[in-house]
């Protein structure tokens, strides 16, 4: 890797930016790391260079890429943070310090690792860019995993798969997520990986390409006729997600039909729906496979129309239809937001709600193993969006119930919940909500306390805590009624 490549890549996404600063950051880091060698025999500077390059790939801004180049300087060389601050300003120094504070993960046992994890979430709440640097640093370390003993390889891969990759997914950076996952997959399940790789890359490649040309040749005349401007891409699923699907459904590779999808990228949202109509007029849609993530985006911000149709030769084909902006967002996640928003001059992205939630949990729990268990339970579960009758969106964990929703809206709504209407039909208070549900809670006015039995099915910490608190008060009150003289 060279600094010239980084500068070229950076300038593609940020025309007119002052790339001299990148060259200066490189020169400083290069001198600082002079003489240091990595385990794979390369000069150490290759590691920060690769980290910075991955950052430019996810379209990071100038201070972030500079911090990527400098991220190991304070930890590994005689140069200090205050020196970096003097040379490159307080923003770059702040980011480098953030990464340094996270500590180098030295893989000294699981407790040490969890400590680092806790720091990671705190850093995330202060400035997400610190985490982006840490992710790119980790991805480059994964790519040089070959040089470590097998036991270490496995442990690092597992940690990445359990913690880093899901967080990248929650931040919507699918590009980093799947790259991490496939490398970890290779180290954790080498046989399965190579088997699948062979089937996927070699056996079926020709056949797949022929099939796609056929679909394209049917679809494109229709798009031209409708005067829609489009790009069509083939999207092959990455190996680890196919592997998960095979495990999940207990089916062999040749029965997993959605290993690829056709992506149609158009200019605006109206065109998205028009293309959807065109596709459905050409091929019959598969029931229950249509998803409108434009009207109801996924909690990580993902937007697209998805549909699976019975395509040519009776084979199922998945289509993903989206605008160029949605496409960028789907790959770069929050990183795309900083790109777009700073272009529009609206300042930087916001910290998502769940990041703040993690910080709250960690304040409450001091034992690190307990902490990891808790965030896995409350945060790493997929999130859904449900709507109130007024159209307000509420983010909840997957499998949340109307009671969780009621407490998310207001404590009193939770305490007085008596029934629920879901999508205009009568529902049950303990049933699982689905993404996009319209939920209306029916309340019993004047009631003050919740039902303790709700604890058996609620999924959110907020609902659980409030039910316990009010159930306690309710017991106390009936106790007072029972023995009138007490507490007087």
Beta bridge partners of 384: 396
Tokens representing 71 are 């991220």
SS3 label, residue 440? strand
In this chain, which stretch among 132-140, 218-226, 268-276, 393-401 interacts with Mn ion, using CB under 5 A? Answer: 132-140
SS3 label, residue 424? coil
The nearer residue to Mn ion, 61 or 72, going by C-beta atoms, is 72
The nearer residue to Mn ion, 157 or 406, going by C-beta atoms, is 157
User: Minimal distance in Å, beta carbon 102 to Mn ion?
Assistant: 10
Catalytic residue (choose from 34, 75, 111, 203): 75
Tokens representing 154 are 């496995």
In this chain, which stretch among 88-96, 135-143, 221-229, 242-250 interacts with Mn ion, using CB under 5 A? Answer: 135-143
User: Minimal distance in Å, beta carbon 53 to Mn ion?
Assistant: 13
The nearer residue to Mn ion, 159 or 404, going by C-beta atoms, is 159
**Are 77 and 31 in contact, with CB atoms under 8 Å apart?**
no
User: Minimal distance in Å, beta carbon 458 to Mn ion?
Assistant: 42
In this chain, which stretch among 133-141, 174-182, 429-437, 450-458 interacts with Mn ion, using CB under 5 A? Answer: 133-141
The nearer residue to Mn ion, 124 or 400, going by C-beta atoms, is 124
Q: Does 72 bind Mn ion (CB under 5 A)?
A: yes
Is 233 tagged catalytic?
no
The nearer residue to Mn ion, 155 or 374, going by C-beta atoms, is 155
User: Minimal distance in Å, beta carbon 125 to Mn ion?
Assistant: 22
The nearer residue to Mn ion, 72 or 182, going by C-beta atoms, is 72
| Integer Cα distance of 385 and 394 in angstroms | 5
Q: How far is CA 82 from the centre of its chain?
A: 34
Is 75 tagged catalytic?
yes
**Are 459 and 401 in contact, with CB atoms under 8 Å apart?**
yes
**Of the candidates 434, 435, 431, the residue with the CA atom closest to the CA atom of residue 419:** 431
The nearer residue to Mn ion, 146 or 270, going by C-beta atoms, is 146
Residue that the structure tokens 């699976």 belong to:
308
Cα 284 to Cα 10, 157, 213, 296, distances in angstroms: 44, 42, 19, 23
CB atoms within 10 A of CB 384: 21
In this chain, which stretch among 65-73, 110-118, 172-180, 329-337 interacts with Mn ion, using CB under 5 A? Answer: 65-73
| Integer Cα distance of 22 and 317 in angstroms | 45
Would you put residue 314 in left (φ > 0), alpha (ψ -120 to 50) or beta? Answer: left
In this chain, which stretch among 72-80, 127-135, 370-378, 418-426 interacts with Mn ion, using CB under 5 A? Answer: 72-80
Q: Cβ contacts of residue 153 below 8 Å, gap of 6+?
A: 145, 146, 187
| Integer Cα distance of 25 and 46 in angstroms | 14
User: Minimal distance in Å, beta carbon 240 to Mn ion?
Assistant: 24
| Integer Cα distance of 357 and 338 in angstroms | 22
How many positions of this chain bind Mn ion (CB under 5 A)? Answer: 2
User: Minimal distance in Å, beta carbon 138 to Mn ion?
Assistant: 8
User: Minimal distance in Å, beta carbon 52 to Mn ion?
Assistant: 11
Q: Determine the straight-line distance between the first and last CA of the chain, rounded to whole angstroms.
A: 78
Q: Does 137 bind Mn ion (CB under 5 A)?
A: yes
Tokens representing 305 are 């129309």
Q: Tell me which residues are annotated as active site.
A: 75-76
User: Which residues of this protein are in contact with Mn ion, per CB under 5 A?
Assistant: 72, 137
């Amino acid at each position: 890797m060279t600094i010239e490549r980084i500068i070229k890549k950076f300038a593609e996404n940020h025309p007119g930016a002052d790339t001299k600063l990148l060259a200066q950051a490189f020169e400083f880091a290069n001198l600082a790391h002079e003489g240091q060698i990595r385990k794979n025999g390369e000069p150490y500077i290759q590691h920060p260079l690769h980290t910075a390059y991955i950052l430019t790939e996810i379209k990071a801004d100038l201070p972030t890429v500079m911090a990527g180049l400098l991220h190991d300087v304070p930890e590994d060389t005689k140069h200090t943070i205050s020196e970096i601050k003097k040379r490159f300003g307080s923003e770059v120094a702040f980011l480098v310090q953030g990464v340094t504070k996270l500590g180098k993960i030295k893989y000294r046992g699981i407790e040490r690792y969890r400590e680092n994890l806790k720091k990671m979430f705190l850093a995330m709440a202060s400035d997400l860019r610190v985490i982006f640097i840490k992710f790119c640093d980790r991805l480059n370390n994964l790519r040089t995993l070959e040089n470590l003993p097998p036991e270490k390889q496995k442990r690092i891969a597992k940690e990445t798969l359990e913690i880093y990759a899901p967080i990248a997914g929650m931040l919507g950076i699918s590009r980093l997520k799947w790259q991490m996952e496939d490398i970890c997959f290779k180290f954790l399940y080498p046989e399965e990986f190579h088997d699948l790789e062979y089937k996927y890359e070699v056996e079926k490649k020709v056949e797949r390409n022929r099939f796609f040309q056929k679909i394209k040749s049917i679809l494109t005349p229709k798009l031209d006729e409708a005067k829609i401007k489009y790009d069509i891409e083939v999207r092959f699923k990455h190996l680890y997600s196919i592997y998960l699907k095979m495990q999940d459904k207990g089916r062999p590779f040749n029965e997993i039909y959605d290993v690829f999808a056709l992506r149609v990228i158009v200019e605006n949202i109206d065109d998205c729906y028009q293309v959807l109509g065109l596709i459905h007029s050409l091929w019959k849609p598969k029931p229950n496979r249509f998803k409108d993530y434009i009207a109801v985006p996924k909690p990580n911000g993902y937007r697209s129309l998805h549909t699976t149709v019975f395509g040519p030769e009776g084979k199922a084909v998945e289509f993903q239809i989206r605008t160029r902006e949605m496409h960028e967002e789907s790959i770069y996640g929050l990183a795309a937001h900083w790109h777009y928003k700073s272009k529009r001059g609206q300042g930087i992205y916001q910290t998502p709600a769940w990041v703040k939630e993690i910080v709250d949990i960690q304040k409450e729990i001091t034992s690190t193993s307990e902490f990891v268990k808790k965030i896995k339970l409350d945060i790493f579960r997929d999130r859904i969006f449900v709507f109130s009758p007024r159209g307000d969106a509420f983010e909840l964990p997957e499998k949340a119930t109307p009671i969780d929703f009621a407490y998310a809206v207001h404590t009193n709504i939770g305490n007085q919940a008596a029934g629920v209407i879901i999508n205009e039909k009568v529902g049950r208070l303990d049933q699982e909500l689905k993404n996009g549900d319209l939920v209306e809670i029916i309340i019993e006015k004047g009631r003050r306390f919740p039902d303790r039995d709700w604890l058996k099915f609620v999924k959110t910490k907020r609902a659980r805590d409030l039910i316990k608190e009010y159930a306690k008060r309710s017991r106390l009150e009936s106790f007072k009624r029972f023995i009138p003289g007490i507490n007087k």
